[in-house]
A and B are shown apart, each in its own frame.
Chain A
Amino acid sequence: MSEDGDGLLVQRCLRGDRAAFSGLVARYEKPVYNTALRMLRNPEDALDVSQTVFLKAFEHLADYDPRYRFYSWIYRIALNESINALHRRPPLQPFTGDEVDGDPGPEDAANREQVVRGIEDALMAISIEYRSVVVLKHVLGCSYQEMAEILGLPEKTVKSRLFTARQLLRGALFDQRMDLQ
């Protein structure tokens, strides 16, 4: 994402240009939706959360501190809203995987699907704190520093959580007799 571009769009939004906000939505709808989906494992909840995230961003845009990266701000909202949704209701149904981008090809599709489901199960089995760092790292591709900024935690804490989360996932996948090789 272009941070300069984000800043310009934010400035235009603050001057009343609604179309500029559409530009921000276009840039971030996918990562925000995927964040919510991986946190919640429920497409409908993820859809609701995504709408709420952008609505909150719009309503509180004046509070955004331009010294920080815009994506850090909106990813933090996405995580917080996902966590709020988790607290409000349990996940209702598993993600079917039908909406996956691209065509994985016929070979090993069933195998691949099984692995993905296994990882999703494992992700839902670990605590929200651990799941959050995994989503930031492996869904959003954040660095340690970015994760620390988004979560408002020391980098050392973030790293420790991430490493432990991976170990827990390894254990959960082992419990499922999942062969990752």
Chain B
Amino acid sequence: MIDEKCRELIHGDLDGELPESSRAEIGRLLLASPEARAYSQDMLRVCEALDGMPEVAVPSGLREMISDRVALAAGAATGPRARRTVGMSTAVLRYAAVFAGGILAAALAFQFAAGPQAGLATSDLVGTMAGLERAAPGSPVDSARLEQDQLQGVVNLYDTGSTLILEFDLSAKEPVDVVAVYDGAQARFSSTADVPRDGQQHYALAFASRGATHASVALQFFQGGVLVHEEQLETEGDR
């Protein structure tokens, strides 16, 4: 039977947590005690067996499941179609962006998130100069109306089967940054132009469709770096 001090030295040695000052002591102890040597060997085998347990790959889809649950939780916290109003100073600037027609203007700057779940390639963007009327015929599959003091308008989602198109019709008192997330890919754009309220500058954002199942696009609107609104637009059932 080994004592507690001996046990601590042996495990500390196995775990690489033995202070330098105790190294000579454990060496002497193992030399002198066959029982300590046997115990050390036993524990070494146990540790090797435990360390040799294979790391298991994360099941595919876990990240998406988490993302969905987090999105749901965030939605529940603010309520469906909730308006999260943040106190804003009355802005002098008046930004109006009417997204209906078909030109992705130079006033939009896109950033695409890096990472294994996000790689939205440039080729996945369509309609940058294409006519939205041709790309998105018919009625939107989902819409959201924004009725905040500093941000108002409508966002429509069109589904052509191969493409999901977001159509924005917003007016805002300050520049708006919009983050759109679809199937792990993230697109971010900023309105940087001072557009008259009745301006007809047209923007469109489109994602190449991924798969035939139900699709969901999460939207976040920022002004002055502050999240002022969130929306989630979805297609109906399997597509």
Contacts and interface: CB of A to CB of B under 8 A. Distances in A.
A51 B48 contact: no
A55 interface: yes
Interface in A18-46: 18-19, 21-23, 25-26, 29-30, 33-34, 37-38, 43
B238 to A, nearest CB: 23
B66 A50 contact: yes
A153 B113 CA distance: 40
Nearest to B71: A18
Contacts of B48: 180
Contact of A19 (B51, B73, B179): B179
B8 A33 contact: no
A59 interface: yes
Interface stretch (A63-71, A76-84, A85-93, A131-139): A131-139
B117 A22 contact: yes
Contacts of A101: 54-57
A139 to B, nearest CB: 7
A51 B46 contact: no
Contacts of B53: 38, 116, 119-120, 138-139
Interface in B47-97: 47-59, 62-63, 65-67, 69-71, 73-74
A140 B160 CA distance: 46
Which label, helix, strand, loop or mixed, suits the secondary structure of the A interface? Answer: helix
Contact of A22 (B12, B67, B220): B67
Interface in B10-53: 11-12, 15, 17, 42-43, 45-53
Contact of A29 (B63, B113, B115, B181): B63
B137 interface: no
Contact of B63 (A22, A43, A102, A115): A22
B46 A116 contact: no
Contacts of A143: 17
Given A58-B70, A59-B73, A163-B11, A119 B63 contact: no
A54 interface: yes
A181 B8 contact: no
Contacts of A47: 59, 62, 65
Nearest to B72: A55
Given A55-B70, A119-B53, A163-B7, A29 B58 contact: yes
Contacts of A139: 53
B207 to A, nearest CB: 16
Nearest to A135: B50
B116 interface: yes
A25 B103 CA distance: 36
18 contacts: A22-B67, A22-B115, A29-B62, A30-B55, A50-B66, A54-B70, A100-B56, A100-B57, A115-B49, A116-B53, A116-B54, A120-B53, A138-B51, A144-B15, A159-B8, A159-B12, A162-B11, A163-B11
Interface of B: 7-8, 11-12, 15, 17, 42-43, 45-59, 62-63, 65-67, 69-71, 73-74, 113, 115-118, 179, 181, 184, 186, 218, 220, 222, 225-227
